[in-house]
Amino acid sequence: MEGLRSELTKGSIDEPTKDVLERFARVPYCYTLQSCFGHFMREFRVDDRNTKHVSDIGGTGIMLHYRIAYIALCIQNSVQGRALLEELRAIPDIDPDYIQFGSADWFLKTCVNSYVLQVSPLKNAHQDHFEVTREEAHHIERARDRFFDGLAEALSRDQNRDRH
């Protein structure tokens, strides 16, 4: 566990996700496999680690490139793990057309009980990056922010349940 914490401080993760990832690191029946805050850029792979708000991205073009926000988790098949899983399954209710829950084949091949939550328009649900209009980027950004708030709330409910 200490190795994970030291990695979290080395800038290997997107700063806005640091708190929620540290909270997941303290859950004994779950661990993260991968995550991304979700990045908007004028061109694919140009400043692709920025965490700027859509309104702060300059340029005159109406299209932006989006690399999806997501978190991939491995959850223990236990009473506590299944309870957390149910909390996480509710997160897409925040914005069902822009937040999906499921299992990705590439994680299942190496890690059973793995699940992914992602922020993407349904029409692009099977892509990890794509172009969107600035208007849609604003909607995705709001969904992404609510998604990470929802993860934090689900962890709080999970921790409160464990205390009782």
pTM of the model: 0.88
Q: What is the pLDDT of residues 46-62, one digit of tens each?
A: 666 778 889 988 877 78
Q: Which domain holds residue 56?
A: 2-158
**Number of structural domains in the chain:** 1
Would residue 67 count as lying in a domain?
A: yes
Closest CA to 134 of 30, 76, 64: 64
Q: What is the CATH number of the domain that holds 51?
A: 3.30.1960
Q: What is the pLDDT of residues 85-122, one digit of tens each?
A: 999 999 999 999 999 999 877 777 788 899 999 999 99
